[in-house]
């Protein structure tokens, strides 16, 4: 070939780049599996409101991450065999996977803004569905009970949410309890320390911070995993594909 040495040099760079890309793609797949598993069990908050595309982005990323891995292995093969047809196949398939991964990143980050950009959506959902009947109501109630118990918080921005707004909970129990008993501190045997003081709002017997910070940080963590890491992988793949195109041209 005319520039044999240049071709060999580019081939080596391409092979190394594809090895790194395969590792990155596999890591993306693993990270997306972590998001889809949802260890904090906050899916109902996004699912009931219909804004659950952070998890849709995670599912897409599982497949595109694995596809990146496979295609990069194929790319190593195509570069080593110096075959034009294989390189063209590699380029076109990588482009298709690139498009899907772009979609995953953008979807995840946009829906995070919808969901936890401010506390309104979470608050409205809590007031409407906590202690309500039906499937949505029971899922939201269980999720909030878990969050209030583990994070030691009450309400979205604070217990004052329960006082300021009408809610399904208030309509059922509002004559007696200003807020759910899960806002109260409990002893190790799960008994409430002091129900009367909790109803009065004494801050030694109840949780006074809001739960929104925790919910927002969990969803942000999931989103940064999918969208920012996906973004990094895509930036790397962009330059890899440019190199592959140059290699194809000089083959």
Closest distance between other proteins and the C-beta of residue 138, in Å? 19
Tell me, what DSSP letter sits at residue 177? -
Query: 140: Cβ–Cβ under 8 A, 6 or more apart, which residues?
Result: 44, 45, 48, 125, 126, 129, 130, 132
Least distance in Å: CB of 192 to other proteins?
15
What does each C-alpha distance from 114 to 50, 118, 157, 165, 226 come to in angstroms?
A: 11, 8, 17, 22, 16
Backbone angles phi, psi at 184, to 5 degrees: -90, 150
The DSSP annotation for 14-39 comes to: HHHHHHHHHHHHHHHHHHHHHHHH-T
Q: Is 134 in the site for other proteins (CB under 8 A)?
A: no
Each residue 90-119 as x (binds other proteins by CB under 8 A) or -, in order, gives: -xx--x--xx--x--xx--xx-xxx-xxx-
Q: What is the DSSP letter of 42?
A: -
Residue 236 binds other proteins (CB under 8 A): no
Geometric angle at alpha carbon 9, from 8 and 12, rounded to 5°: 85
Closer to other proteins by Cβ: residue 8 or 200: 200
Does 182 contact other proteins by CB under 8 A? Answer: no
How large is the greatest C-alpha to C-alpha distance in the chain, in angstroms?
Answer: 89
Please give the residues from 32 up to 91 whose contact with other proteins meets the rule CB under 8 A.
Answer: 91
Rounded distance between C-alpha atoms, residue 88 and residue 101, angstroms: 20
Taking CB under 8 A as the criterion, the residue among 166, 195, 217, 221 binding other proteins is 166
Residue from the set 3, 37, 203, 217 that interacts with other proteins by CB under 8 A: 203
Q: Which is nearer to other proteins, 91 or 189 (CB)?
A: 91
Q: Is 8 in the site for other proteins (CB under 8 A)?
A: no
**Which residues make up the interface to other proteins (CB under 8 A)?**
1-2, 91-92, 95, 98-99, 102, 105-106, 109-110, 112-114, 116-118, 120-121, 123-124, 127-128, 158-160, 163-167, 170, 174-176, 178-179, 199-203, 206, 208, 224, 227-228, 231, 234-235, 238, 241-242, 245, 248-249
């Amino acid at each position: 070939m005319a520039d044999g040495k240049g071709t060999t040099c580019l081939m080596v760079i391409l092979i190394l780049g594809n090895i790194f890309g395969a590792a990155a793609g596999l890591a993306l797949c693993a990270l997306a599996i972590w998001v889809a598993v949802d260890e904090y069990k906050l899916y109902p908050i996004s699912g009931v409101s219909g804004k659950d595309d952070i998890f849709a982005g995670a599912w897409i990323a599982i497949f595109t991450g694995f596809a990146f891995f496979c295609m990069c292995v194929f790319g190593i093969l195509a570069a080593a065999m110096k075959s034009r047809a294989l390189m063209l196949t590699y380029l076109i398939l990588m482009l298709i996977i690139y498009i899907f991964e772009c979609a995953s990143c953008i979807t995840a980050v946009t829906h995070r803004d919808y969901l936890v950009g401010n506390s309104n959506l979470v608050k409205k959902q809590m007031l409407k569905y906590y202690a309500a009947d039906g499937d949505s109501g029971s899922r939201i109630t269980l999720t909030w009970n878990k969050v209030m118990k583990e994070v030691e918080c009450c309400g979205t921005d604070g217990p004052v949410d329960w006082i300021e707004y009408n809610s399904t909970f208030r309509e059922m129990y509002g004559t007696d309890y200003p807020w759910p008993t899960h806002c109260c501190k409990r002893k190790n045997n799960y008994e409430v320390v002091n129900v009367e003081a909790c109803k009065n709002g004494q801050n030694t017997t109840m949780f006074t911070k809001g739960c929104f910070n925790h919910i927002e940080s969990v969803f942000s963590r999931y989103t940064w995993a999918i969208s920012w890491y996906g973004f990094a992988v895509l930036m790397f793949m962009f330059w890899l594909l440019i190199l592959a195109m140059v290699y194809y041209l000089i083959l």
